[in-house]
Structure 1
Amino acid sequence: MNPIKIAVIILVNFILQVTVLNNLSIGSTVPNTSLIIVVALSLIAGKRSGAVAGLVSGLLQDVMFSGVIGINTLGLFSVGLLVGSLDQKVFKENLFLPFVLTLSATVFMYFVQFFFLYFLKIEVSFIDLILGDMIKELIYNGAITVFIYKAMLSSYKEPSVKFTRGL
């Protein structure tokens, strides 16, 4: 996928996540559209694009929202690499796969955050983390994953018929 297109997607998503999606929160939970986009890009465009998108998105989130640089960067980068390794092995039009992978990636991100904070000796209750935020974010991410994935898949598809000049 074109690097400029990826950069625009990440930037537009970040702006929407900071402005519009904060007003659409349920409780104090907003969907992690950066995670959904990293999963979608990884499935559609491969490991390299997914890892770069995860690195940039995670760094943006860490700089703007997190007191600790690296939590989201490490998690989203890892998600991009792991999901991107499935690129050539899956049927990309299957809408169930990005749904399941987004839910799995959401759980993975919470475990990464918990362990990162635990090793930094920052007091976090695992039960509160799981019951408080993760379940709500799982529902929210799952509800919008298919719509984001379909939009990204349709924008990525190349025409199946290519015309060339005859010799």
Structure 2
Amino acid sequence: MRPLVWGLIIVVTLVIQATLLPLITAGGVRPDLLLLVVVSAGLLLGRDQGVGMGFFAGLLQDLASGNIFGASILSKTAVGYIAGHMERKVFKEKILLPLMAVLIATVINNTVMIVLLVSLGFKVDVPTAVDNTLFVLGYNAVLAIPVHQIIYRVAKSELPDPNG
């Protein structure tokens, strides 16, 4: 694991998510690039990398957003763990893998966030939150494969050689 490289990827992703993505929102909803990076890193490099990336991405997202501190940490770390747990059970080169994983991860991430907010006593309009999740699903589905290909290129040197 090259922590400096992965840390830089998270920071650049956060900057893009905070500055460029608000320009392409639909109804105030935008894709979650940090989630896409966490899922791809977990799928490619395993549970430890997924958890580490999820924690760091969630920490920076919580610090940058001003939302409830810890909510993104919890949801992104959980998603990184689940994606990383699947690392040995999947073919890394398959193109549909990141798409399916991102769809599942988006639902998990948003569900954790909604449940956490409700359990902490915040008023959450659940039907609107579900609608927003569907928009995020669409955005993330469009960006899942390109983001995964970028992360795959960065992670290639850390992947075990399939030929032995």
TM-score (norm 2): 0.92
Instruction: Determine if the alignment matches structure 1 residue 135 to structure 2 residue 153.
Output: no
Query: 1:124 and 1:51 mapped to 2: Cα distance?
Result: 27
Alpha-carbon distance in structure 2 between the residues aligned to 1:66 and 1:93: 37
String of CA shifts for 1:11-38, please: whole Å, max 9, x gaps: 1101111111111222311110000000
Gaps of 5+ in 1: 163-167
Q: Name 2:104's counterpart in structure 1.
A: 104
Contact 2:55-2:76 at 8 Å conserved across structures: yes
2:148 corresponds to: 149
Once the two structures are TM-superposed, the CA of residue 85 in structure 1 deviates from its matched residue by 0.8
Quickly say closer, same or farther: Cα 1:119–1:40, change in 2 above 3 A: same
Q: Deviations over 1:22-76 (max 9, x none)?
A: 1122231111000000000001111111111100111111122143111111000
Which portions of structure 1, spanning 4 or more consecutive aligned residues, are displaced by more than 2 angstroms? Answer: none
User: What is the 5 A alignment of 1:16-165?
Assistant: 16-131=16-131, 133-158=132-157
What's the CA shift for 1:5?
Answer: 1.2
Q: Is the partner of 2:35 in helix, strand or coil?
A: helix
Where structure 2 has 5 or more consecutive residues not aligned to the other structure, the ranges are none
1:79 Cα deviation (Å)?
A: 0.6
Count of residue pairs brought into register by the alignment: 160
Q: How far did 1:158 drift?
A: 3.1
Distance 1:124 1:159 in 2: 42
CA distance in 2, matches of 1:56, 1:127: 30
Amino acid at match of 2:8: V
**Judging changes above 3 Å, is the alpha-carbon distance between structure 1 residues 93 and 119 closer, same or farther for their aligned structure 2 residues?**
same
Question: What is the aligned partner in structure 1 of residue 10 from structure 2?
Answer: 10
Q: In structure 2, what is the Cα distance between the partners aligned to 1:118 and 1:23?
A: 29
Taking only the aligned residue pairs, the percentage that are identical comes to 29
**TM-score under structure 1 normalisation?**
0.90
- Structure 2 counterpart of 1:165: none
Provide closer, same or farther for how the CA distance between residues 66 and 151 of structure 1 changes in structure 2, counting only shifts above 3 A.
same
SS at match of 1:139: helix
SS in 2 for 1:88: helix
Residue 152 of structure 2 aligns with an amino acid whose one-letter code is L
Backbone CA RMSD of aligned residues: 1.7
Cα distance, 1:95 vs structure 2: 1.4
